[in-house]
Amino acid sequence: MKTRNSRISPSEITPREIFMNRRKFMVGAAAAGVGLAAAGSVLGAFGPEKKVMAANTLQTVPSQWNGKGLQETSFYDITHYNNFYEFGTSKSDPSKYAWKLKTEPWTVEVDGLVHKKKTFDMDALMKLSPLEDRVYRFRCVEAWAMVIPWVGYSLSKLIDAVQPLSSARYVEFVSVDRPSQEPGIMNVSIPWPYREGLRMDEAMHPLTLLTVGLYGQVLPNQDGAPVRIVVPWKYGFKSPKSIVKIRFVKNQPQTTWSLIAPSEYGFYSNVNPNVDRVQWSQKTQRVIGAPIWKQLEPTLMFNGYGDQVASLYKGMNLSRYY
Ligand SMILES: Nc1nc2c(c(=O)[nH]1)N[C@H]1C(S)=C(S)[C@@H](COP(=O)(O)O)O[C@H]1N2
Ligand SMILES: [Mo]
């Protein structure tokens, strides 16, 4: 079975053992450069600007973002327990079928209320910013959780590059819609393509990650190759995979899950232990892959990122805007 993007030749993939050892070594070292091994290896997969970019990755990863003290979920679990309905509704479907998606060539079209509309190919996206290693807690609304070492850069870098107009208040994301390569699209009746959205200040927040890799490798298809969004203080469905469009708009965009079940999946969907959903209590979460005595843990407000993001929602009633 194919779990990684076929475009990388085996020699370009850092063997997991070596990467893990290097990683252990680096966790002990200073925070500066923590992202180096990971970012370097992902860059290798994206072609000629490798050298330039590798040099640029020598930068400090802010200590609150490098996931110190968090036990990372295994690569196996991160790539075999997925939600990606384009490939089916079962957690194991994406690992079985996502290899069908052709992720090269790939473009992301950025349009709407911006000065510089532009269609980026992956090379152009990789030129916008050096990559960083960011270990984030991940929380699905279905009450399971993981800790995932992503590779990417702040979405704000892309937003700055296209210069939104002052009238742009929201950002809409659209995932790829290719029935011939995504068997779930024919079998799962939700209105395709998958759509998500963020308020402008949420999209601009430095924690919001334009994500191109995990565990130092290009994103496996089932995790949203070649590029997805990750918003660590929101439920997992707020992180659209395999995106092909980013649109800047004036009004709050329609999002797939709020369209299907508005009472369950609000537009904001901040991780919040105090707001239960119809089907799932949000007070606790099950940590995938953890030893049994550590599997159940309390859900943290804003998934533990309150210090960084609570100010975005000052004065908002988060039970109403859930
Ligand atoms: N395009 C697309 N993006 C998606 C989904 C999806 O079905 N299609 N599922 C979402 C949900 S519900 C979750 S929990 C996360 C899962 O991400 P992971 O499989 O990489 O852990 O992806 C989100 N992004
Ligand atoms: Mo989810």
Give residue-wise pLDDT tens across range 160-183.
999 999 999 999 999 999 999 999
User: How many angstroms does the Cα of residue 84 sit away from the middle of ligand 2?
Assistant: 9
Q: Which residues pair with 145 in a beta bridge?
A: 139, 287
What does the pLDDT look like over 45-79, one tens digit per residue?
Answer: 654 333 323 333 333 344 445 566 788 899 999 99
Ligand lying nearest the CA atom of residue 213: 1
DSSP 180-201: TT-THHHHS-S-SSPEEEEEHH
CB-based burial of residue 29 (10 Å sphere; 0-12 exposed, 13-18 middle, 19+ buried)? exposed
Tokens of 261: 């079940």
Is the peptide bond prior to 298 cis by the omega test (within 30 degrees of 0)? no
Contacts of 25 (CB under 8 A, 6+ apart): none
Please list the residues that pair with 136 across neighbouring strands: 148
CB of 85 sitting under 6 A from ligand 1: yes
Domain boundaries, the chain: 10-313
Mean pLDDT of 96-101: 98
Identify the CA nearest to 318 among candidates 301, 299, 298.
Answer: 301
Using alpha carbons, select from 294, 274, 277, 278 the residue that is nearest to residue 286.
294
Cα of 125 vs centre of ligand 1, distance in Å, is: 21
**Rounded CA separation 141/234 (Å):** 9
Cα(79) to ligand 1 centroid in Å equals: 12
pTM of the predicted structure, to 2 decimals: 0.84
The phi and psi torsions of 307 (rounded to 5 degrees) equal -60, -35
What DSSP element (H or E) covers 246? strand 243-249
Q: How confident is the model at residue 234 (pLDDT cuts 50, 70, 90)?
A: very high
R_g (Cα) of the chain, nearest Å: 18
> 257 or 9: which carries more pLDDT confidence?
257
- Level-2 CATH architecture, domain 10-313: Alpha-Beta Complex (3.90)
